[in-house]
């Protein structure tokens, strides 16, 4: 089949499918499942695709083999191993096909869906054994409380003061767990000082981004903390830098209105008088910010995390990399920030920018090429 034909069956663009075929991109599990469900010649499709999903044709997958994997991978493997399409599987369970698709795309199935699985499970596998393997199916009282509070907060508009109150209460419940998780994760790499720098950001990210239909909040919090600590370790920066900027950087930025008033760069003493902070602290903030600006080209992630809000008054001391970042087209810069700074997945960037996935990837590639100083950069291929 040609890429356009596969695209019409699966709902993916022909360009994306062609990238998969030529090896430019690795096919996602979701795409392979959609392909396996839609493409004719089921025997051929199964033999070619099922091994890529880690699914054996001759046996029903044991839950224990998926102990370290998400629940939705097991549910999709179960259906595929039984040689049933999603429509057939839904009919066997007595549910709508949309419920099958949602479960395979990550939504936590309800108790009724799990009980219906007994209709297709072999005698050697029980629903109880499935529940025992996947913690997401065994929420604790705290997990249930956090989920209820998050859903209650999201009933209010973003700007509603009541939502802010509810989110603050939710954050208070998360803080003890976040501190404990951050300390455990930081000790694993022998950098306990990282814990204080990441737990607060992880709590904020969890409240803002967690989808309670696709997992437990504490698990999402733990994943966020580990990701932030890995990023912090990879940046190879001094751990006091982020803290000092977070606590006092905004105040010092606001004081830079003195630059236009005085016609010159204000001294630390003048900024201190304007902000009621110690002059020595002003100097420490300025040095921390300078350390964040002057980084090498191989530390692009770190640059994009810390250089976003550097005021124009510091442009004389900018590195070449920061200058290139500022000079690139605004729409490119937005996508770069969303991808590297906010670490949003492509699906969320697509929602924010209204661009196709292929256009986003092409923009990121072109922007990174421009940041690296390639003379051929500056246009999308």
Helix axes 86-93, 97-104, angle to 10 degrees: 110
pLDDT at site 27: 73
pLDDT at 6 over 70: yes
Please write the tens of the pLDDT for every residue from 348-365: 777 767 788 778 888 887
Report residue 313's pLDDT band, with 50, 70 and 90 as the boundaries: very low
25-29, 169-173, 220-224, 266-270 — which is least confidently predicted? 25-29
User: What is the rounded distance in angstroms from the CA atom of residue 190 to the CA atom of residue 229?
Assistant: 11
CB neighbourhood size of 68 (10 A): 6
Report residue 284's pLDDT band, with 50, 70 and 90 as the boundaries: low
pLDDT at site 52: 59
Please write the tens of the pLDDT for every residue from 155-211: 999 888 999 899 999 999 999 999 999 999 888 877 888 888 889 889 998 998 999
pTM for the structure as a whole: 0.55
Report residue 150's pLDDT band, with 50, 70 and 90 as the boundaries: very high
User: What is the rounded distance in angstroms from the CA atom of residue 288 to the CA atom of residue 272?
Assistant: 16
For residues 58-65, average pLDDT: 76
Report residue 293's pLDDT band, with 50, 70 and 90 as the boundaries: very low
User: What is the rounded distance in angstroms from the CA atom of residue 242 to the CA atom of residue 288?
Assistant: 8
Give ∠ CA 184-186-189 in degrees, rounded to 5.
Answer: 115
Map out the domains of the chain as residue ranges: 3-137, 141-235
79 vs 143, which has greater pLDDT?
143
Place of tokens 């951050």: 182
Contact status, residue 83 vs residue 59, Cβ threshold 8 Å:
no
For residues 58-69, average pLDDT: 78
Q: How many CA atoms lie within 13 A of 294 on its CB side?
A: 8
Which has the closest alpha carbon to 63: 75, 80, 52, 47?
Answer: 75
285 vs 207, which has greater pLDDT?
207
CA distances from 297 to 179, 302, 322, 324 (A): 33, 10, 10, 11
pLDDT at site 227: 85
pLDDT at 314 over 50: no
pLDDT at 321 over 90: no
């Amino acid at each position: 089949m040609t890429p356009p034909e596969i695209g019409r069956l699966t709902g993916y663009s022909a360009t994306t499918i062609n990238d998969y075929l030529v090896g430019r991109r690795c096919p996602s599990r979701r795409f392979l499942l959609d392909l396996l469900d839609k493409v004719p010649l089921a025997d051929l499709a199964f033999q070619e695709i099922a091994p890529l999903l880690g699914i054996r044709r001759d046996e029903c997958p044991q839950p224990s083999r998926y102990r370290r994997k998400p629940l939705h991978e097991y549910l999709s493997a179960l259906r595929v191993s039984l040689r049933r399409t999603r429509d057939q599987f839904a009919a066997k369970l007595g549910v709508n096909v949309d419920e099958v698709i949602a479960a395979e795309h990550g939504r936590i199935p309800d108790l009724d869906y799990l009980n219906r699985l007994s209709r297709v499970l072999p005698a050697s596998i029980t629903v109880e054994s499935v529940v025992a393997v996947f913690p997401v199916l065994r929420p604790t009282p705290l997990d249930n409380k956090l989920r209820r509070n998050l859903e209650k907060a999201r009933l209010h508009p973003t700007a509603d003061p009541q939502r802010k109150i509810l989110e603050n209460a939710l954050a208070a419940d998360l803080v003890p767990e976040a501190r404990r998780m951050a300390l455990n994760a930081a000790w694993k790499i022998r950098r306990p000082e990282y814990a204080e720098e990441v737990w607060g950001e992880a709590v904020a990210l969890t409240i803002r981004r967690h989808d309670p239909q696709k997992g437990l909040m504490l698990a999402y919090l733990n994943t966020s903390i580990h990701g932030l600590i890995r990023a912090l370790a990879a940046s190879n920066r001094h751990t006091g830098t982020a803290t000092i900027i977070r606590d006092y950087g905004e105040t010092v930025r606001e004081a830079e209105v003195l630059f236009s008033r005085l016609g010159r760069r204000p001294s630390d003493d003048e900024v201190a008088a304007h902000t009621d902070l110690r002059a020595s602290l002003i100097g420490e903030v300025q040095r921390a910010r300078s350390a964040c600006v002057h980084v090498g080209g191989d530390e692009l992630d770190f640059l994009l995390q810390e250089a976003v809000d550097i005021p124009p008054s510091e442009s004389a001391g900018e590195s070449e990399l920061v200058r290139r970042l500022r000079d690139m087209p605004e729409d490119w810069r937005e996508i770069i920030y969303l991808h590297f700074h906010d670490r949003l997945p492509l699906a969320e960037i697509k929602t924010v920018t209204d661009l196709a996935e292929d256009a986003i990837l092409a923009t990121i590639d072109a922007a990174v090429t421009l940041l690296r100083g390639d003379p051929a950069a500056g246009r999308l291929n």
